[in-house]
Amino acid sequence: MPAAAKPFVSIIVPCRNEAQHVGRCLESVLDGDYPPDRMEVLVVDGRSDDRTREIVTAYAARYPTVRLLDNPKQITPVALNLGVRAAQGDLVMRMDAHVVYPRDYVSRLVEALDESGADCVGGVIETLPADETPIARAIALGLSHPFGVGNAYFRIGSRQRRWADAVSFGCYRREVFDRIGLFDEDLVRNQDDEFDLRLFKHGGRILLVPEVVCSYYARRTLRQLGRMFYQYGYFKPLVAKKLGKIMTARQLAPALLLAALAATGLLGLAWPVARVAFAAIAGAYTVAVLSCSVRAALRHGARCGLGLAAVFVVLHGSYGLGFLRGVGDHVFGWRRPRTAGFSLSR
């Protein structure tokens, strides 16, 4: 297709305090094979207090394709909506500052969107460690492991293209936003999940394109991982409430595990059979964790395998706790829902 005939693509990159990653992200996008005069890169910054804005401003001075927008509310859905409103493209593509993209990333997703007739397409994430420490390597393994994230195909990969109810870093036709609206700003986290599922409920089609792979740099520490997944869990019940349905069974598993352990543990104070149930549940989970960790240790070393065991516990525990707290706050109204501290910076 001649360059002039290619659709104009608006790439939206929400970020805050991403000085370590944003330059590498922008370099990968600008070095791509999509015609630079047929795209724009809108970096929507949430008032960063590191060098993020300085870095993006320098890129904007060198490349007319890049523009810096301000996000005073500092949360992702606001950043995305500011980007969509400012976008001039026929297609709108969401990107993440923590990610490095291959040269043909934009062009291949644009081609897949045209060939499939889908409303949105997205690729697969290859999760890389933030550094070479054992715990960082273990975090990257856990985020791409079926035991860690279930059947999230955009994380674990797929052998073939498949219709999906959600993808990460989607490429959308502009008319999708005219049809179903913008991202829900109540959802500090999981706004892309809710948007994709709302599109799905309105008859839209979403295609996972597994041959298109980007490289995502995972969080460096267990604390960062736990905070991120607590927030993911916390907002999942609000997504379910807004859509009137639970999205997938895998999103219930961590909370059900914690609830089962808590219930059988408390009942076990009075009933021996509950103590047996507690031991069975805890034992089965422990065996599963150790089995996966031993396999990882054989391939990546003992320290990485031990770290993976901790990653699973933190990932599932923080997500489950967040989900249960979210059920209480969002569904039953036990407390006022939390939004403070849930900015783009994680």
Please report the domains of the chain, with CATH numbers, ordered by start residue: 7-220 (3.90.550.10), 221-339 (no CATH)
pLDDT at 3: 61
User: What are the pLDDT digits (tens) for 7-26?
Assistant: 999 999 999 999 999 999 99
- Name which of 293, 205, 285, 193 is nearest 243 in CA terms: 193
pLDDT at 339: 56
Q: Are 139 and 303 in contact (CB under 8 A)?
A: no
What value does the mean pLDDT take over residues 45-59?
96
What is the gyration radius of the CA atoms in the chain, in angstroms?
21
Higher-pLDDT residue of 6, 168: 6
Q: What percent of the chain has pLDDT over 70?
A: 95
For residue 346, what pLDDT band results from cuts at 50, 70 and 90? Answer: very low
pLDDT at 285: 97
Q: Is the pLDDT of residue 337 over 80?
A: no
Mean pLDDT, rounded, of the chain: 92
Q: Is the pLDDT of residue 343 over 60?
A: no
DSSP conformational letter for 182: S
Q: Is the pLDDT of residue 2 over 70?
A: no
What value does the mean pLDDT take over residues 56-80?
96
User: What are the pLDDT digits (tens) for 245-258?
Assistant: 776 777 899 999 99
pLDDT at 10: 98
Rounded to whole angstroms, how far apart are CA atoms 91 and 106?
A: 11
Q: Are 126 and 216 in contact (CB under 8 A)?
A: yes
DSSP conformational letter for 337: P
Task: Kindly give, in sequence order, each residue whose CB lies less than 8 Å from that of residue 318, ignoring residues fewer than 6 positions away.
Answer: 225, 226, 227, 229, 230, 233
Instruction: Give how far the C-alpha of residue 84 lies from the chain's centroid of Cα atoms, to the nearest Å.
Output: 19
Task: Kindly give, in sequence order, each residue whose CB lies less than 8 Å from that of residue 198, ignoring residues fewer than 6 positions away.
Answer: 180, 181, 243
Cα of first residue to Cα of last residue in the chain, in angstroms, is: 40
Higher-pLDDT residue of 335, 193: 193
Return the H-helix or E-strand segment holding 317: helix 302-326
Q: Is the pLDDT of residue 296 over 80?
A: yes
Q: Is the pLDDT of residue 167 over 50?
A: yes
Structure tokens at 338: 């939390």
> Which phi-psi region, left, alpha or beta, contains residue 229 (left: φ > 0; alpha: ψ -120 to 50)?
alpha
What value does the mean pLDDT take over residues 292-315?
96
Q: Is the pLDDT of residue 110 over 70?
A: yes
pLDDT at 344: 53
Pairing of the two strands 120-128 and 99-100:
unpaired
Structure tokens at 152: 């999230």
Q: Are 323 and 254 in contact (CB under 8 A)?
A: yes
Q: Is the pLDDT of residue 163 over 60?
A: yes
pLDDT at 99: 94
